[in-house]
Amino acid sequence: MTVHLTRGTQPRPGHRRVTALLGRHPVGLALMAPYAAYLLLVFAYPFGFAVWMSFHDYFFAAPGAQVERPFVGLENYRTVLGDPGVRQAFGNILVFLLINVPLTAALALTLAVALNQAIRGRTFLRVAYYVPYVTASVAVVGVWLFLFSSDGLVNTLLGPLAPDPSWLVNETLAMPLIAVFVAWKQLGFFILLYLAALQNVPKELYESAAVDGAGAWQRFRSVTVPAVRPATTLVVIVATVTGANLFTEPYLLTGGGGPNGASTSPVLLMYQRGLEQGAPDVAAAIGVLLVVGVVALSMINRRLLERS
């Protein structure tokens, strides 16, 4: 076997040049080709196209028609920033993220720690926490509409304490409610991430903390939280990116971002401006601004979280 292997790894003279040029297994390039083509076609090219579009006067023309699409500099960005609807949508998504992201990270970590220690009923608990994550948003939106309608179960239970106007038609409450709803929906996935991180926490740390007389809460604060910090960074960034993608919930729960645009999200606005009102260049500019915002937020979060 060893002899064979040595002979096998020594390139024959004719192959030496190919090896130098393409590596030991040039066939790898062929195996990667479909995926690489997919990445270029569906991600890299549209990405460049979006940025290009946001600097040009782009509009939908009849198929096959040759039309001029002049460079307009920052014109589209001026339109976007001067639009109060856009500013409101970005404000809304900020409110959403401020509620959704900390809530998600805190609940996911707490439940993951508890789940990690629970012995009985672990399968049942895991299934319960993950089920909302594997279910379609459109399906769970149906039951949330039913629960939170003005004469729904939640208001019936609250009786005189029910908010007026009701949850989804209340300008102050609509967006926070959507933030809580999305946290509930996505929590299972983030619990999964934390569970993976918890497997790697050295047990000796808990041992020495226990020897030092640390209680459960102190062990959680001084051992668990610092040990899973890299996972927290990941959770916060993924939750921010997912949250910035918000579309289905405001589109369906609040009838397209209502009341009075109080729950409009930037992606919903991209759909309305770009496809309903036929201004894809403006929509592309909203997209670029949104991505710049998300990247900036992620970098700030990372800085804050990795500072020990």
Partner 1 sequence: MSTRTLGAPETAPAVEPVARRRTGTLGRVLRAAALTAFALAFLFPFYYMFIGSLQAEPDTSPAGAFPTGGLTLGNYREINAEIHLLRSLVNSGIFTGGVILGTVVFGLLAGYALAQLSFRGRGALFNLVLLVQVVPFQLLLIPLYVLIVRGYGLADSYLGMILPFLINTTAVFVFRQFFLQLPPDLFAAARVDGASELRILWSVALPLVRPALLTVVLLTFIGPWNEFLWPFLITKQTDMQPLAVSLANYLSNVAARAANPYGAVLAGACVLAAPAVALFVAFQKHFTSTNIGSGVKG
Rounded to 5 degrees, φ, ψ at 71 are -70, 130
Identify the bridge partners of residue 71 per DSSP, sorted by sequence position: 56
Q: Answer yes or no whether residue 201 interacts with partner 1 by CB under 8 A.
A: yes
Q: Answer yes or no whether residue 198 interacts with partner 1 by CB under 8 A.
A: yes
Nearer to partner 1, 170 or 254 (CB): 254
The Cβ of residue 78 has, within 10 Å, a number of other Cβ atoms equal to 12
Minimum CB separation from partner 1 for residue 82, in Å?
Answer: 20
Nearer to partner 1, 207 or 306 (CB): 207
Q: Is 77 exposed, middle or buried (0-12, 13-18, 19+ CB in 10 A)?
A: middle
Binding positions for partner 1, 202-241, rule CB under 8 A: 203, 206-207, 209-211, 215-216, 219, 234, 241
Stretch that binds partner 1, among 44-52, 67-75, 77-85, 162-170 (CB under 8 A): 44-52
Which residue in the block uniquely carries the two structure tokens 């729950």?
263
**Residues 63, 69, 75: CA angle, nearest 5 degrees:** 130
Q: Answer yes or no whether residue 23 interacts with partner 1 by CB under 8 A.
A: yes
Minimum CB separation from partner 1 for residue 64, in Å?
Answer: 10
Stretch that binds partner 1, among 68-76, 98-106, 148-156, 160-168 (CB under 8 A): 148-156
User: Could you give the C-alpha distances from 162 to 17, 31, 167, 219, in angstroms and in order?
Assistant: 77, 59, 9, 40
Most distant CA atoms of the chain, gap in Å: 87
DSSP conformation class of 11: P
- Residue 219 near residue 198 (C-beta atoms within 8 A): no
Work out which of 55, 90, 167, 251 binds partner 1, going by CB under 8 A.
Answer: 251
Binding positions for partner 1, 74-93, rule CB under 8 A: none
Binding positions for partner 1, 53-72, rule CB under 8 A: 53, 60, 63
Work out which of 76, 137, 263, 264 binds partner 1, going by CB under 8 A.
Answer: 137
Helix, strand, coil shares, percent, the chain, to 5: 75, 0, 25
- Distance between CA atoms of residues 173 and 157, nearest Å: 18
- Distance between CA atoms of residues 160 and 219, nearest Å: 42
Which residue type, as a one-letter code, is found at position 292?
V
What x-and-dash track marks residues 98-127 binding partner 1 by CB under 8 A? -------------x--xxxxxxxxxxxxxx
Stretch that binds partner 1, among 71-79, 84-92, 94-102, 278-286 (CB under 8 A): 278-286
Work out which of 146, 260, 277, 296 binds partner 1, going by CB under 8 A.
Answer: 146
Nearer to partner 1, 81 or 127 (CB): 127
Residues in the chain: 308
Minimum CB separation from partner 1 for residue 78, in Å?
Answer: 18
Q: Answer yes or no whether residue 300 interacts with partner 1 by CB under 8 A.
A: no
Structure tokens at 207: 């041992």
Minimum CB separation from partner 1 for residue 260, in Å?
Answer: 18
